[in-house]
Amino acid sequence: MAPFPLPLEALLTKGGAYLVYLLIGFSFGYALEISGFAISTKLAGQFYFKDMTVLKVMFTAIVVAMVLIFGATALGLLDFNLIWVNPTYLWPGIVGGLIMGVGFIVGGFCPGTSLVSLATFKIDGLFFALGSLFGIFVFGETVDLFYEWWNDSYFGRLTLMDVFDLPSGVVVVLVVLMALFMFWGAEKLEHIFGKKDLTKEPKWRYAAAGVLLAGALAVLLIGQPTTADKWARLEPTKEAALQNREVQVSPAELLATTTDTQVNLVMLDVRDEADYNLFHIRGARHLPLSQLAAAIPQLLLEPAANTVYVLMSNDETAATEAWKVMTAESVPNLYILEGGINNWLSTFAVNEPEIQATPTPAGQDRLVYTFPAALGDRYDAADPSPHEYELEYTPKIKLQTKRGPSGGGCG
Amino acid sequence: MATAVNAKPKPVNKLKGFLFSRPEKPYVNPYLGGVVLGIVLFMAIFLTGNGLGASGGLNRYVVFLENIIAPEHIDRVAYLLKMAGGEKNPLDDWIVFVTTGAILGGFVSGWIHGRLKVETNRGPRISVKTRWVLAFTGGAIMSFGARMARGCTSGQALSGGATLSAGSWAVMFAIFAGAYALAYFVRKEWN
């Protein structure tokens, strides 16, 4: 399994993890200061084409980090599914962005740079930061007025790869090319509007651009690991959990878990639509195997700390297949319904005469019960009362302390 | 500086000397600054899975203050409740440490490079007081927008830009669009 990102809190306790974040923040502030981002006039110069420092620093940082991130994921060092990718809320993002732009040119900073500015005793930075606190306060007090709109136009963990339907290597190369083109344009503008002498710019920037582009091409050539690659890497450790039946939860445990308020239980029914319509457990989402891969980004956005997934098919075959795919894609806390829906029905449909066991099961992973009608979850067995059954079971579900992203860059 | 030689310097002067006496160094080349910032951003994501941020930390400071002044008010607003409801301490979050660290890092770099200076940066045609008012106003507008967009230039444009989040790229272009659209009308402030 890709060893990074690290499970910081598990490794270092909370205090240690916060120290790491403090050091990261320290380096962040240091990097902003050495770039001149404490000076409002320098930042504002960007918008009069005189001093394109903002664009150069920002886009260099973005493309350098991007090439390193996707290089690390290509080499199997970093698990892309465990890093925070800002979820897309399109319209609040665009409108909020436009408002930020207005604030930027009026105030001369963004929140991060104003902190560095006040840290170096600039009084305009201090006033901007105070204004920031006020603006944040006003937002907190008014967000209720447009709460619905603010949570609307939600696209989940959407990446540029999804939007353009391109592999990440291609997107990485295109973004690097776009950045290099923008740098070229920015220098031309500085020459025209800022009267800058371009011959004095350092020559090493050409070499740096070459290294960057070479890195992006390497990312493209190596390619990102597929689900099968990821499973192959995990198989030695995870296959044992399947064989030792550590992840197969009994119907009784699943029923008990449905009433556990501490757990965000997500039941995924991976059978075909006909079987799902005939009968399914109440609350189970229908997600056939063929659509599983596409749904992974959404599943990764469930709150990692207390979400438990239980996968089910008629017996265990398809559910186990789904378990492997989701395990490979780093979805946490995954379990399989032991014996599948057939076993669930043999436990909870005993008092429902219209649900009949068929004498000859039609093959593997087939429903061995017949139903008078496709009533879905309207059978009693779809939602048995936990109080009516006193069943013994060995508990298998245990929530792991989860590593990975705990929230947004500005959560 | 002749007076400083006389007798013992006062502690205040000593502090001033410590803070302000280092020779001022020029800023690094923007591409080099960008490479350093990019490596910092990569390390953040590589080690922790989280990117960088600033407005999120400020947000939690604001909620922390609100929680002291009017705790019963927090309980009425769902947005605030998420950060400070019940036993939750709004400062108990990684982003607060990133934001606080950024202030420290900025200070240390400013000190090492002799760039600590009490001043107000502004265009030649506006007064210091006007600049302060505009800085406060701009800060309020910017951060209102940052909360709406769920992240500022750091949390959205930088962090989301590098992880190729579609929404973050939309936010980034919107920031530049908003600033360029208004730049002409506030040119007196800066030029």
Q: Does A408 have pLDDT greater than 60?
A: no
CB A134 within 8 A of CB A60: no
Q: What is the pLDDT of residue A302?
A: 74
Residues 256-285 on A with a CB inside 8 Å of B are none
Q: Which residue has the higher pLDDT, B76 or B114?
A: B114
Q: Which residue has the higher pLDDT, A238 or A175?
A: A175
CB A312 within 8 A of CB A269: yes
Q: Does B13 have pLDDT greater than 80?
A: yes
CB B121 within 8 A of CB B135: no
Query: How far is Cα A349 from Cα A375, in angstroms, rounded to an integer?
Result: 14
**Residue A250 CB partners (closer than 8 Å, separation 6+):** A338, A391, A393, A394, A396
Residues 62-121 on B with a CB inside 8 Å of A are 62-63, 66, 77-80, 93-95, 97-110, 113, 115-121
Contact A111 B152 (CB under 8 A): yes
Instruction: Give the closest-approach CA distance of A351 to chain B in angstroms.
Output: 44
Q: Does B1 have pLDDT greater than 60?
A: no
Contact A140 B63 (CB under 8 A): yes
Measured between beta carbons, which residues in chain B are less than 8 angstroms from residue A137? 62, 66
* 3-state per-residue secondary structure call for chain B: CHHHHCCCCCHHHHHHHHHHCCCCCCCCCHHHHHHHHHHHHHHHHHHHCCCCCCHHHHHHHHHHHHHHHCHHHHCCCHHHHHHHCCCCCCCCCHHHHHHHHHHHHHHHHHHHCCCCCCECCCCCCCCHHHHHHHHHHHHHHHHHHHHHCCCCHHHHHHHHHHCCEHHHHHHHHHHHHHHHHHHHHHHHHHC
Contact A64 B93 (CB under 8 A): no
Position A10 confidence tier, pLDDT thresholds 50, 70, 90: confident
For chain B, what percent of residues have pLDDT higher than 90? Answer: 66
Chain B, nearest residue to A17 by Cα: B94
Residues 101-140 on A with a CB inside 8 Å of B are 101-125, 127-140
Query: How far is Cα A48 from Cα A163, in angstroms, rounded to an integer?
Result: 32
What are A45-94's pLDDT values in tens digits? 999 998 999 999 999 999 999 999 999 999 999 999 989 999 999 999 99
Instruction: Give the closest-approach CA distance of B5 to chain A in angstroms.
Output: 27
Of A135-149, A217-231, A265-279, A364-378, the one with minimum mean pLDDT is A364-378
Tell me the sheet residues that pair with A268: A285, A311
Of A91-105, A338-352, B26-40, B65-79, the one with minimum mean pLDDT is B65-79
Contact B78 A133 (CB under 8 A): no
CB A58 within 8 A of CB B157: yes
Domain parsing of chain A, residue ranges: 8-226, 228-388
Q: Which of A46, A65, A107 sits opposite B134 (nearest CB)?
A: A107
- State the residue for tokens 């953040």: B44
Instruction: Give the closest-approach CA distance of A398 to chain B in angstroms.
Output: 23
Measured between beta carbons, which residues in chain B are less than 8 angstroms from residue A147? 78-79
Q: Which of A378, A380, A116 is nearest to A255 (CA)?
A: A380
Q: Which residue has the higher pLDDT, A374 or B166?
A: B166
Give the C-alpha distances (Å, rounded to integers) separating B136 from A108, A110, B57, B150, B165.
Answer: 10, 12, 18, 21, 31
Position A8 confidence tier, pLDDT thresholds 50, 70, 90: confident
Contact B134 A108 (CB under 8 A): yes
CB A97 within 8 A of CB B173: yes
The angle subtended at Cα B7 by Cα B6 and Cα B11, nearest 5°, is 105
Q: What is the pLDDT of residue B95?
A: 92
Q: What is the pLDDT of residue A411?
A: 38
Query: How far is Cα B41 from Cα B102, in angstroms, rounded to an integer?
Result: 13
For chain A, what percent of residues have pLDDT higher than 70? Answer: 95
Query: How far is Cα B145 from Cα B140, in angstroms, rounded to an integer?
Result: 9
Q: What is the mean pLDDT of chain A?
A: 90
Query: How far is Cα B110 from Cα A218, in angstroms, rounded to an integer?
Result: 37
A159 at B interface, C-beta within 8 A: yes
Chain A, nearest residue to B176 by Cα: A101
Of A171-175, A237-241, B94-98, the one with minimum mean pLDDT is A237-241
Instruction: Give the closest-approach CA distance of A230 to chain B in angstroms.
Output: 18
Q: What is the pLDDT of residue B97?
A: 95
The ipTM estimated for the assembled molecules is 0.93
Measured between beta carbons, which residues in chain B are less than 8 angstroms from residue A8? 47-48
CB A297 within 8 A of CB A161: no
Q: Which of B145, B158, B166 sits opposite A158 (nearest CB)?
A: B166
Question: Dihedral angle at the C-alpha atoms of A363, A369, A372, A376, nearest 10 degrees?
Answer: -90
For chain B, what percent of residues have pLDDT higher than 70? Answer: 95
Instruction: Give the closest-approach CA distance of A242 to chain B in angstroms.
Output: 28
Query: How far is Cα B43 from Cα A93, in angstroms, rounded to an integer?
Result: 26
Q: What is the pLDDT of residue A404?
A: 46
Q: Which residue has the higher pLDDT, A295 or A217?
A: A217
Query: How far is Cα A307 from Cα A309, in angstroms, rounded to an integer?
Result: 7
Instruction: Give the closest-approach CA distance of A237 to chain B in angstroms.
Output: 23
CB A230 within 8 A of CB A81: no
Contact B98 A22 (CB under 8 A): yes
Question: Dihedral angle at the C-alpha atoms of A266, A267, A271, A275, nearest 10 degrees?
Answer: -130
Q: Does B53 have pLDDT greater than 80?
A: yes
Q: Report which residue type is found at A242.
A: L
Measured between beta carbons, which residues in chain A are less than 8 angstroms from residue B79? 140, 143-144, 147
B40 at A interface, C-beta within 8 A: yes
Q: Which of B40, B34, B138, B127 is nearest to A180 (CA)?
A: B34
The dihedral of CA B72, B74, B76, B82: what is its sign?
negative
Query: How far is Cα A182 from Cα A180, in angstroms, rounded to an integer?
Result: 5
DSSP A347-396: HH-TT-TTSEE-SS--STT---EE-SS--BT-SGGGS--GGG--------
Q: Which of A61, A89, A172 sits opposite B167 (nearest CB)?
A: A89
What are B108-163's pLDDT values in tens digits? 999 999 999 999 999 999 999 999 999 999 999 999 999 999 998 999 999 999 99
In chain A, DSSP finds a helix count (H) and a strand count (E) of 16, 9
What are A215-240's pLDDT values in tens digits? 999 999 999 999 999 999 888 889 99
Position B7 confidence tier, pLDDT thresholds 50, 70, 90: low
Chain B, nearest residue to A55 by Cα: B30
Residues 177-196 on A with a CB inside 8 Å of B are 183
Tell me the sheet residues that pair with A88: A156
φ/ψ (deg, to 5) at A279: -160, 135
Give the C-alpha distances (Å, rounded to integers) separating A364 from A242, A268, A314.
Answer: 18, 19, 9
Instruction: Indicate the fold that domain A228-388 takes in CATH.
Output: Oxidized Rhodanese; domain 1 (3.40.250)
CA B142, distance to chain mean position in Å, is 11
Give the C-alpha distances (Å, rounded to integers) separating A12 from A398, B70, B186.
Answer: 22, 35, 49
Contact B55 A132 (CB under 8 A): yes
Q: What is the pLDDT of residue A363?
A: 67
